[in-house]
C-alpha cells in the first residue's frame, strides 16, 4: 500500500478526462485502489433496485472515483494546481505538506482540529 499525497478534505483540480480543469473537494480516499472521490465531479448514473418494499429504486446519480494520478492538490495560497513536498517544522515537531511552487503549507483536516 503506497502513501498518497492527497488527503480527505483537500481541494483538488482534475487534470485529465471529461472534468479536466474543474476543482472540487475530496470526499473519500481509497488508499488500496489509489483512487479518490471528488465532490460533484465524475458523475455516473446507477440503476438501483429497491432493497425492500418501502425502498424506492430508480436511477441514482453519484460521484465515481478518480485515480490519484489524474488529480492535483490546489494550493490555498497561490490557488494553482501543484505538486506537494514534505517539510519538517521544528515548532510543531511534525512533517507538513508544502506547495512546490510557492512554499506555503498545505493544511489537512486533522490540522484544523
pLDDT, tens digit, 9 for 90 and up, residues 22-73: 999 999 999 999 999 999 999 999 999 999 988 888 999 999 999 999 999 9
Task: Kindly report the average pLDDT of the chain as a whole number.
Answer: 89
What are the sequence ranges of the domains in the chain?
11-112
Q: 54-68 as b/e, with b when 16 or more CB fall inside 10 Å?
A: eeeeeeeeebebbeb
Q: Which secondary structure element, helix H or strand E, spans residue 112, and what is its range?
A: helix 109-112
Residue 25 sits at φ, ψ, to 5 deg, of: -100, 140
Do the beta carbons of residue 35 and residue 18 sit within 8 Å?
no
pTM: 0.82
Confidence at 2, pLDDT banded by 50, 70, 90: low
Percent of the chain with pLDDT over 90: 60
Is CATH 2.60.40.10 correct for 11-112?
Answer: no
Amino acid at each position: 500500500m503506497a502513501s498518497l499525497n492527497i488527503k480527505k478534505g483537500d481541494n483538488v483540480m482534475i487534470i485529465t478526462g471529461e472534468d479536466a480543469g474543474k476543482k472540487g473537494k475530496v470526499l473519500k480516499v481509497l488508499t488500496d485502489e489509489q483512487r479518490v472521490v471528488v465532490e460533484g465531479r465524475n458523475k455516473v448514473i446507477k440503476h438501483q433496485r429497491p432493497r425492500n418494499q418501502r425502498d424506492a429504486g430508480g436511477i441514482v446519480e453519484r460521484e465515481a472515483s478518480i485515480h490519484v494520478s489524474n488529480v492535483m492538490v490546489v494550493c490555498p495560497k497561490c490557488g494553482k494546481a501543484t505538486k506537494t513536498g514534505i517539510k519538517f517544522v521544528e515548532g510543531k515537531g511534525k512533517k507538513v505538506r508544502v506547495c512546490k511552487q510557492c512554499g506555503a503549507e498545505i493544511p489537512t483536516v486533522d490540522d484544523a482540529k
